[in-house]
Structure 1
Amino acid sequence: MISYDSVLTSDPGAPHRSEGAAVAPDARLYNADLAPTEKSQRTWTTYNYIALWFSMSMEVTTYMLAASLIAGGMNWKQAVFTILLGNLIVLVPMLLNAHAGAKYGIPFPVFVRASFGPLGANVPALLRAVVACGWFGIQSWIGGTAIAQMVNVLAPSTVGQPWVVWLCFLGFWLLNMLVVWNGVESIRFLQSYSVPVMFVLSALLLFFMLRKAGGFGPMLAAPDHFATSGAFWKFFFPSLTAMVGYWATLSLNIPDFTRYAKNQEAQIVGQAFGLPVAMVTYSFLGIAVTSASTVVFGRPIWSPVELLGMFHQPLLAFVGLIALLIATLNVNIGANVVGPSNDFSNLAPKYISFRTGGLITGFLGLLMCPWYWLSTFGNYIFGWLVGYSGLLGPVAGIMVADYFLIRRTKLDTYSLYRRGGPYEYSQGINPRAMIALVIGVLVIFGGLLLKHLGMDPTVGGQRLLPTLLAFYDYAWFIGFFLSGAIYLLLMWGRRETIAPAPVTE
């Protein structure tokens, strides 16, 4: 006799230790990477999670996230508050979704099967993958522009030539593709240097701007640029959504990391401290430097690549751009290729290898026009960050509602790796989760769609478009709570029938 209770409480790795065909995992749903972690693999302590967040926070896009708030008109206090509040908010779904990873040792693609079904789980996995493709393109554009700035430093006659930027961008993109083709191991030696490289680069920028601005006083004395309090709040709420959206992807697949936690306390304390502290600490560098750029150059320069290009010391600028390039390459491969490559490969393992999945990631990154999202701080915040949070917020709401309110944190780990069990739903897809997801996304993006079509419906003589467009500003929040609530209502009648029960043979 095999008891599910023993699987749920004593040995999370038991599902793949089958005792006969009756409990053997489905080959389409199981491999060594997806299997629950063994006790011997659960070695991550509080320190490991703190270090993880510091390593993930110290990158160019975090700097630009903070700098964009200054460029948008905030002063440094308002920017720090927005970043801190946004990260405290996103910490909640982060910890909630992290619980299953630490308890059962399962990664995100397996965990999401509980709510979407074994086939339906491909939908949220692909949404996450597409967002990662966008980030791949954005990081490639940052790297390409860094190379272009180095060319400008070495050959001043190339300044202002668009073909230089595009050639450098495509060259850096090809470099990333070459790394993917040769395997991620080809740059593993760089990973240990990513954090110190970005720290040194940030310190270099801070020192340079501090000296130019005449100290911290002038740097941080710059006032906000909002004419009224209403103008501030109009910028604040979408910016807060962007802060939450910045980590919306990881708030879904955080079980990929917490499955290695020594215990729940290790991941909870480590993340509760590491995420907000790391983000506020590193973001402050971007805030301070961008505030100083307003004093020194008369306008906020939110891109560190552009700012490095304005250094009057060519050697210093060249070294800084090289450091930024190395860090960008490392982050791009580690954070934006591995995940989507596995997601694409999971769709058809027989035909799509990790290498092929990586190439798909690269080409989709190109098609998502990263130069547009980084052309202005508004496109970066209101277009990219707020936009994709509207796709991932509903998924997070459904996962949290399913795990905590429907299943009360009880999962049947055997059935997560098999077809035909309690997670089969309708031919492997949970239609209730799909309905909740679609409704949440439509509500968020419905106003933008109607605006694009030139339509503005009325109810009782009142135009609806302004109200519908306002939903977009709160994309992640509306998606999370609306889709979560709809899913809860649709699944409530099944709540008592889906709890795992002991099975005998």
Structure 2
Amino acid sequence: MNLYRRLDRHLQQSNEGSGPVRGTLSAPRIGMIWLAANFVVTTLLTGTLIVPGVSFGSAVWMIILGTLLGAVVLTLIGNIGTRTGLPTMAITRGAFGARGSLVPVAANVVILMGWSWVQAMLAGVTVNYVVEQFTGFSSPVLFAVLCQTLVVFLAILGHGGIAKVEPWLAVVILAIMVYVFVSAFTTFSPAEFGGIEVDESLGYTNFMVLDIVIATAISWTVLSADFNRLARSSRAGIIGSGVGYTISTTLAMVLGATAIGYVILSGDAAASFDPTVIVSAFGTPLAIVIFMSVMATNTMVVYGMVTSVVNAQVRWKARFLPTSLAVGAIAIAGSTWMALLDQFTGFLVMIGAFFVPVFAIMIVDYYIIRRGSYSRDILRPSGGAYWYTAGVNWAAIAVWVVGAGASYVLTYIWPSPVGATIPAFVLTFVLYFAVSARKRARTAAGPGLQPAEGDGLPYRAPAAAE
């Protein structure tokens, strides 16, 4: 048997194919996975967008508050994955229907592919900067492709390989981040950072910063169940992902704000969302953080795309290895599209518009309408409780369109003074509950995905959660 067939069989036997899995990881292991995943260059560079748009102190407080609010949504969605054993996009069948779920699945794959390209490009630009300093050779596209190729290889290892690699990456990244913080605050005092003059021409407010930070959490929630389903209990998943995500995102964004503040205090030109500006200030150690963060995070992103495709429809029975190779090829080819870096803030807005309403609907549907459990019907290719009308819950689709439209309007047409994310979430939450309240009255609370004796299905039942 050749290497391809052996790896393909191993991945299928390791539950990398479609269907639910039984989680085994503890809270610390889940926490380390999320810790490594969110020490990410895009989150770090998002921090450089905030200062000097608002004061350094305000930036820190808005980052902390926005991260905590976003973590609530992330852990609630992730907990559904722990309790059902299903990845995020498979769970959408419960609210949107067996066929209707293809709408968020398609949006998810497109958005994750965009994330993957952006991160590979930023890693390529960073590696290119360091190499050019030492050798004079410059080819950002080449280094972006090489970084993405390594990411695809790591993603092919599946969730078992990711669980082994991510914690070590987290330790190294955290150690180097501590070095950068110490360097910054021993060169300039906290009072000097707090005294950086606000540039009002950037048009930022505290609420706009809060909106950006929450949108970052929403962008990560598309993967929350993919990885929290590996937790051995609800408690392990919630604590691990909540603590890991909050610490890593707060540190990464504050590091970005600190790095750009350091550049400003040093009297140098401050260009936001440009890794070479802050790497030039802190040297190779920060470049290592950026490179390793892309390896950690982009591996999860590519893995998330593959699991979304594999689990999109029960009847497809797609295999993990060939799917990962196809997705990986597209991810590598797209990493050459450097112009996408100029569209990052618009990309975050698109993520918010697509997925804030999706997650509001999922939370209402699972925790309120379905009383905290999905039945085995969610594994059926047709018929059953989640078939709705020809496989589509048109009420969920309609509410999603309203919520996404509201997010767009409040961002571009009538800008909201409190941002678009929170109003769009609340509007969608209330609307979906209103149109689904009668369904709740007819839904009996049950044990959910309880495995029948001897059926061998490797999923967890809600009753196993602490």
> TM range, normalised to the smaller chain?
0.7 to 0.9
Return 168-177 or 403-412, whichever deviates more: 168-177
Matched, 1:305 2:275: yes
Task: Give deviations 1:16-57, integer Å, cap 9, x for gaps.
Answer: xxxxxxxxxxxxxxx77554455xx44523x34443432233
Local SS of the residue matching 1:440: helix
Aligned to 1:488: 433
Matched, 1:390 2:353: yes
For 2:43, the aligned partner's letter is T
Local SS of the residue matching 2:108: helix
Shift of 1:327: 3.6
Alpha carbons 1:394, 1:476 under 8 Å: kept: no
Shift of 1:87: 1.2
Alpha carbons 2:59, 2:209 under 8 Å: kept: no
Aligned to 2:54: 74
2:308 to 330, 343, 346: 343
Cα–Cα, structure 1 residues 148 and 104, in superposed 2: closer, same or farther, change >3 Å?
A: closer
Cα–Cα, structure 1 residues 336 and 437, in superposed 2: closer, same or farther, change >3 Å?
A: same
Local SS of the residue matching 1:223: coil
Cα–Cα, structure 1 residues 268 and 356, in superposed 2: closer, same or farther, change >3 Å?
A: closer
Cα–Cα, structure 1 residues 482 and 364, in superposed 2: closer, same or farther, change >3 Å?
A: farther
Shift of 1:214: 4.6
Cα–Cα, structure 1 residues 371 and 85, in superposed 2: closer, same or farther, change >3 Å?
A: farther
Local SS of the residue matching 1:154: helix
Task: Give deviations 1:62-87, integer Å, cap 9, x for gaps.
Answer: 2212222114x222211111111111
Alpha carbons 2:370, 2:440 under 8 Å: kept: yes
For 1:374, the aligned partner's letter is L
Aligned to 2:205: 235
Task: Give deviations 1:270-293, integer Å, cap 9, x for gaps.
Answer: 445443344333433332222111
Alpha carbons 2:156, 2:321 under 8 Å: kept: no
Alpha carbons 1:59, 1:198 under 8 Å: kept: no
Aligned to 1:64: 45
Local SS of the residue matching 2:371: coil
Task: Give deviations 1:422-468, integer Å, cap 9, x for gaps.
Answer: 111112221111111122223333588xxxxxxxxxxxxxxxxx7x3
Task: Give deviations 1:121-151, integer Å, cap 9, x for gaps.
Answer: 2222222222211110111111110222023
Unaligned runs of 5+ in 2: 1-14, 453-466
Matches for 1:8-157 after TM superposition, within 5 Å: 33=17, 35-38=19-22, 41-45=23-27, 47-71=28-52, 73-156=53-136
Q: Tell me, in whole angstroms, the C-alpha distance in 1 between the residues paired with 2:322 and 2:174.
A: 31
Matches for 1:238-253 after TM superposition, within 5 Å: 238-253=208-223
Q: Tell me, in whole angstroms, the C-alpha distance in 2 between the residues paired with 1:36 and 1:189.
A: 21
Q: CA RMSD in A?
A: 3.7
Aligned to 2:379: 417
Shift of 1:318: 4.8
Shift of 1:204: 4.4
For 2:374, the aligned partner's letter is L
Alpha carbons 1:220, 1:292 under 8 Å: kept: no
Matched, 1:218 2:192: yes
Q: Tell me, in whole angstroms, the C-alpha distance in 2 between the residues paired with 1:188 and 1:258.
A: 11
Matches for 1:85-484 after TM superposition, within 5 Å: 85-156=65-136, 164-176=139-151, 191-210=166-185, 213-226=187-200, 234-303=204-273, 305-307=275-277, 310=280, 317-318=283-284, 320-322=286-288, 324-332=290-298, 334-347=299-312, 349=316, 354-360=321-327, 363=330, 371-372=338-339, 374-375=341-342, 379-380=343-344, 382-412=345-375, 414-418=376-380, 419-445=382-408, 468-470=413-415, 474-484=419-429
Shift of 1:343: 1.8
Cα–Cα, structure 1 residues 180 and 99, in superposed 2: closer, same or farther, change >3 Å?
A: closer
Cα–Cα, structure 1 residues 370 and 221, in superposed 2: closer, same or farther, change >3 Å?
A: farther
Task: Give deviations 1:154-173, integer Å, cap 9, x for gaps.
Answer: 244x6xxxx73334334444
For 1:199, the aligned partner's letter is L
Cα–Cα, structure 1 residues 326 and 272, in superposed 2: closer, same or farther, change >3 Å?
A: closer
Alpha carbons 2:19, 2:311 under 8 Å: kept: no
Shift of 1:115: 0.7
Cα–Cα, structure 1 residues 70 and 179, in superposed 2: closer, same or farther, change >3 Å?
A: same
Alpha carbons 1:293, 1:301 under 8 Å: kept: no
Return 385-394 or 89-98, whichever deviates more: 89-98
Q: Tell me, in whole angstroms, the C-alpha distance in 2 between the residues paired with 1:498 and 1:298.
A: 62
Local SS of the residue matching 1:408: coil
Alpha carbons 1:242, 1:389 under 8 Å: kept: no
Cα–Cα, structure 1 residues 197 and 371, in superposed 2: closer, same or farther, change >3 Å?
A: farther
Cα–Cα, structure 1 residues 222 and 346, in superposed 2: closer, same or farther, change >3 Å?
A: same
Q: Tell me, in whole angstroms, the C-alpha distance in 2 between the residues paired with 1:171 and 1:37.
A: 32
Cα–Cα, structure 1 residues 501 and 335, in superposed 2: closer, same or farther, change >3 Å?
A: closer
Matched residue count:
432
Cα–Cα, structure 1 residues 103 and 179, in superposed 2: closer, same or farther, change >3 Å?
A: closer
Local SS of the residue matching 2:100: coil
Unaligned runs of 5+ in 1: 1-30, 449-465
Cα–Cα, structure 1 residues 266 and 416, in superposed 2: closer, same or farther, change >3 Å?
A: same
Cα–Cα, structure 1 residues 347 and 91, in superposed 2: closer, same or farther, change >3 Å?
A: closer
For 1:44, the aligned partner's letter is S
